[in-house]
Amino acid sequence: MDLSWMAWTAPTAVFFSAIGTILALMAALYFLRPDGAEPRPGLFFGLATTRGDRLFISLLGSAFIHLAWLGATGYDLKWAAVISFVYAAIVFRWG
Amino acid sequence: MQKTHDHKALWLVAPALLLVAFTAVIPLMTVVNYSVQDTFGNNQFFWVGTEWYREILRSDRFHAAFLRQIMFSATILAIEIPLGLAIALSMPKKGLGVSVCLVLMALPLLIPWNVVGTIWQIFARVDIGLLGHTLNGLGIDFNYTQNAGAAWATLIIMDVWHWTSLVVLLCYAGLVAIPPAYYQAARIDGASRWAVFRYIELPKMSRVLLIAVLLRFMDSFMIYTEPFVVTGGGPGNATTFLSVDLVKMAIGQFDLGPAAAMSVIYFLIVILVSWAFYTIMTREDFEPSGGAR
C-alpha cells in the first residue's frame, strides 16, 4: 500500500506511535484498574478529574508549552519537553 | 456501593471509533506530517522541523487573524446567546403558535452556507441591495467593500440571522422539558418572573446552553464560507479570519508546510477553548459534595 501521500517522517511516526501506545496503555489500565476511571477531586480549580482527563490535560498543556516555547524563546525545544514532563507529573499526581 | 463495569459497551462504540479514525485521525496525522516539512509539489518533501511553527507563532499576520477570529466569535456569542434565550422565553408553549414559531425559527438553518453568503452579499450591496441602498439613502455611509466597520457589521448581522435560531431551538427544547410542578411550586411561593428564570429555568437549561455555546463557538471560530462569499476577507484584511487566512496560505500561495502548522495550532486552540467552556459549564455537576448529577 502506497502511503507516500501521507508524507510520513521518522519523528512524526515516533510521535504518533507514542500517543497510540499511551492510549493503548490507558485502555489496558481501564480493564486492570477501573477505579482510576472514577473522577477524583484535584487541586487545580477544584476540578474533579478521571485518569483520562488528566492525560488529556497533560497532552494539551504540553502542546501549548511547546508552542509557547517556540513562539517566545529561541532556546532548544528539549527544555520545553522537560517542562512538559514535570507539568504532566504534577497533573497526574495532584491534578 | 461498588459500581459495575461492563466492557461490552466499548465494542458497541468500536465502529464509530473506526470511522473517526479514517475521517479525522488519518487526515490530522497527514497535516502534522506536512507541518514539519516543505514541499514544492510532485510529492517531494524536505524536513524543516519546527521552523513553520516558529514562523507562524511569531508572524504579525497570524496574530492579527487570530485576534479578528476571537473578536468575531466573542461578538456573535455575546449577541446570539442572550437573544436566542430571550426569543425562546417569549415563544408560546402550546397552541398553533408553537408550530408556526418552530418552522419560522428552523428556516434560516435550512439554507446552505454559501447561499446565505450570497443572499447577504446582494442584500448589503450599495447599488442593488435593499439593506445597503436603504442605509445609504438614509445618509449612513454603509459600503462593506470599502468600509471595515460595514464589512464587520454585515458579517455579524448575517451570522446572527443565520444561527440565532439554533440557540432558540435548543433553549426552547430545554424550556419545554421543565416539569410544570416547578412552576406550580414557584407560584405557591410567590416567586417573581425573574426568580423563576434565575432559579428554575436557567439552571434547567444549563445543559442545552452549554451545547449552544459550544456549537456556536466552534462554528464561528471556524467560519469560512460566509466571509469568503461576502467580503473575501476584505476590505484589505479587515475580515481575514484564521480560516480565510489559512485557505489563502494553503491554496492561494501553495505554502502547504506553514498552512499545515497553522492548522495544527488552530486545531489546538479550538480544543483548548472548547474544553475550557465545557469544564467551566459542567463544573458544578462534579462538585465533591453533590457528586455527579
Query: To which residue does cell 464560507 refer?
Result: B225
ipTM confidence score: 0.92
Residues of A in contact with B5 (CB under 8 A): 34, 37
What is the structure's pLDDT at B162?
A: 95
Give the burial class of A74: count Cβ atoms within 10 A of its Cβ; 0-12 exposed, 13-18 middle, 19 or more buried. exposed
Query: To which residue does cell 450591496 refer?
Result: B125
Interchain contact A17–B (C-beta under 8 A) = no
**pLDDT at residue B290 tops 50:** no
What is the structure's pLDDT at B286?
A: 54
Contact B33 A9 (CB under 8 A): yes
Query: What's the mean per-residue pLDDT of chain B?
Result: 90
Dihedral sign of CA atoms B275, A15, B31, B11 in order: negative
Tens of pLDDT, residue by residue over B239-256, are: 999 999 999 999 999 899
DSSP symbols for chain B: -PPP--THHHHHHHHHHHHHIIIIIHHHHHHHHHHTEEE-STT-EEE-TTHHHHHHHT-HHHHHHHHHHHHHHHHHHHHHHHHHHHHHHHS-SSSHHHHHHHHHHHGGGGS-HHHHHHHHHHHT-TTT-HHHHHHHHTT----TTT-HHHHHHHHHHHHHHHHHHHHHHHHHHHHHTS-HHHHHHHHHTT--HHHHIIIIIHHHTHHHHHHHHHHHHHHHHT--HHHHHHTTT-STTTT--HHHHHHIIIIIS--HHHHHHHHHHHHHHHHHHHHHHHHHHHGGGG-TTT---
What is the structure's pLDDT at B287?
A: 54
What is the structure's pLDDT at B277?
A: 83
What is the structure's pLDDT at A95?
A: 76
Are B257 and B52 spatial neighbours (Cβ–Cβ below 8 Å)? yes
Given pLDDT bands bounded at 50, 70 and 90, which one contains residue B292? very low
Query: Which residues have CB under 8 Å from B173's CB, separation 6+?
Result: B208
Interchain contact B278–A (C-beta under 8 A) = no
**pLDDT at residue B293 tops 80:** no
Query: Which residues have CB under 8 Å from A78's CB, separation 6+?
Result: none
Given pLDDT bands bounded at 50, 70 and 90, which one contains residue B285? low
Query: Which residues have CB under 8 Å from B67's CB, separation 6+?
Result: none
What is the structure's pLDDT at A1?
A: 66
Nearest to A55 by CA among A33, A7, A22, A13: A22
Interchain contact A41–B (C-beta under 8 A) = yes
What is the structure's pLDDT at B291?
A: 42
What is the structure's pLDDT at A4?
A: 77
Tens of pLDDT, residue by residue over A12-59, are: 999 999 999 999 999 899 888 887 778 888 777 678 888 999 999 999
Are B235 and B145 spatial neighbours (Cβ–Cβ below 8 Å)? yes
Q: Give me the mean pLDDT over the B265-292 stretch.
A: 75
Contact B36 A12 (CB under 8 A): yes
**pLDDT at residue B203 tops 80:** yes
Given pLDDT bands bounded at 50, 70 and 90, which one contains residue B6? low
Given pLDDT bands bounded at 50, 70 and 90, which one contains residue B280? confident
pTM for this predicted structure: 0.85
Domain positions in chain A: 4-94
More confident residue, A46 or B286: A46
**pLDDT at residue A82 tops 50:** yes
Domain positions in chain B: 72-236
The 10 Å Cβ neighbour count of residue B67 is 12
Tens of pLDDT, residue by residue over B14-42, are: 899 889 888 888 999 999 999 999 988 78
User: In DSSP terms, which residues pair with A49 in a beta bridge?
Assistant: A40
Given pLDDT bands bounded at 50, 70 and 90, which one contains residue B2? low
- Spatial separation of the C-alpha atoms in residues A27 and A38, rounded to whole Å: 14
Position B13, amino acid: V
Interchain contact B256–A (C-beta under 8 A) = no
Supply the CATH classification number for the domain B72-236.
1.10.3720.10
Strands B37-39 and B45-47: antiparallel
Range A29-59 burial, b when 16+ CB lie within 10 A, else e: ebeeeeeebeeeebeeeebbbebebbbebbe
Interchain contact B53–A (C-beta under 8 A) = yes
* Residue of B43, B47, B268 lying closest to A4 (CB–CB): B43
**pLDDT at residue B166 tops 60:** yes
Contact A60 B268 (CB under 8 A): yes
What is the structure's pLDDT at B207?
A: 87
**pLDDT at residue B289 tops 50:** no
Q: Give me the mean pLDDT over the B87-96 stretch.
A: 92
- Spatial separation of the C-alpha atoms in residues A65 and A75, rounded to whole Å: 13
Chain A's closest residue to B281, CA to CA, is: A47
Interchain contact B147–A (C-beta under 8 A) = no
What is the structure's pLDDT at B180?
A: 92
Strands A48-49 and B37-39: unpaired
